[in-house]
Every structure is written in structure tokens, then in C-alpha cells.
A and B are shown apart, each in its own frame.
Chain A
Amino acid sequence: AQKVTQAQTEISVVEKEDVTLDCVYETRDTTYYLFWYKQPPSGELVFLIRRNSFDEQNEISGRYSWNFQKSTSSFNFTITASQVVDSAVYFCALSEDPIQGAQKLVFGQGTRLTINP
């Protein structure tokens, strides 16, 4: 069965600090996809990144970076030099090979990130 665990329920930091959001996943599939979404107070889930299970290369996009490690089943997300606009709930999600059925996303419980000025 698929499962995503985000152990950090809430994180609060001061602006300009670096912050890492943890994500641990479980799956029996060898082909799967990992995602991060941002949910601001408005409610809409904003797509941030997708990685497939065969690509363990870390990725950097501006102040955002992602560390994918299959050995520990983790897909962590780091925000460098955080800003108040980064305040939101962040979700990690997992999708197994959609060719075998519905393209279902399994989400973690989310981490509420608050950046204080």
C-alpha cells in the first residue's frame, strides 16, 4: 500500500532562515512519481515539482531545492532564505505507475509553514 508521511505538522521560522520540510514515502512499485504542492490560504493546490523514481538527481529552482533519496525513501524540500510569501501548507504526494490504473495521488498530512517577518 502507498503511504506518505510528513512528520512535521507545523514549522515556524524567521524570515531569511533556511527551512527543510521532510517527506517519507512507502510503495511496493518500482515505478512511481513524487510531488510537492503548496496550498496557500486560498485553498488551491499549486504544483511545485514532480520526480520519477528513476531520477534521483536533486533539483534546484531559485530558492527551492529538493533532495530525493531512494535508499531512505525520502523526498525532502528545502527553502533557502525564506520569505513571508512562502507561508502556506505544503503537501508531499505519491503516485504509482498510472499505466496500471487511475492516476491517483496519495498525499501526506501536510506541513504548515509560517514565516515570521
Chain B
Amino acid sequence: ETGVTQSPTHLIKTRGQQVTLRCSSQSGHNTVSWYQQALGQGPQFIFQYYREEENGRGNFPPRFSGLQFPNYSSELNVNALELDDSALDLCASSLAGVETQYFGPGTRLLVL
């Protein structure tokens, strides 16, 4: 069974740039959620995708957007990067209707 994978592992961007992060869900899982974890904090829910549509969103601005593909993989896109976007971005997959989310290793994003 393949676990959740994310790419890239690390990324450095400058303020104002755009970034795309990628996530492959665990085998058999059809739901992907994205979380942002600032240093020293717990993860914060960004949004969730199910059947290629966003089905829930946390308190993040519209410049955070996503996609889910037919193979259930997903992308997180962030436009107009700000310094405060520096964080560990985590992807989690789950089977709709089952409550356990399994996390990938995350992407460490640094915005300079």
C-alpha cells in the first residue's frame, strides 16, 4: 500500500511569486485535505477536495486555491506569496465517509 506523497519537499520563493505544491493520495483514498502548519503551531485546515470539487474551506483567502484530478491526486496553488505563507504545508488523504486522515511528509515553504 502506497502512502501519501508530496512534492517538492522544500521550496524557497520570494514575496509576490506563485507556488504549486503536489500531493498523491494513499491508494484507495478519494478525498484530499490540505493544512498549513506555521512554526510552533498546530496544523490549520485550508480546504478539502472530494470528487474533484472543493467541499469545505477554512479561514484562508482566495489566493489559496486547489485542484483534484481524476486519479485523486491534488495540487495546492498559492498566488501573491506573503512572508507569513512560510510554513509546512501538509496534505492528507482519506476515504470519504471514513474519518481518519493520513498525512504526507509535507512541503516546507520559505517565502523571502
Contact = CB atoms under 8 A, between A and B. Distances in A.
Interface residues of B, number: 29
The main secondary structure of chain B at its interface with chain A is strand
Contact size range, A: 20 to 34
Contacts of A46: 103
B33 A104 contact: yes
Contact of B88 (A43, A93, A102): A43
Interface in B1-54: 31, 33, 35, 41-45, 47-48
Of residues A42, A43, A91, A108, which shows the largest number of chain B Cβ atoms within 10 Å of its Cβ?
A43
Interface in B86-109: 88, 90, 92, 94, 96-97, 99-106, 108
B45 A104 contact: yes
Contacts of A106: 45
Interface string A91-105: 101010011011111
14 contacts: A93-B42, A95-B99, A98-B97, A102-B33, A102-B47, A103-B56, A103-B96, A103-B99, A104-B33, A105-B43, A105-B92, A105-B101, A107-B42, A109-B41
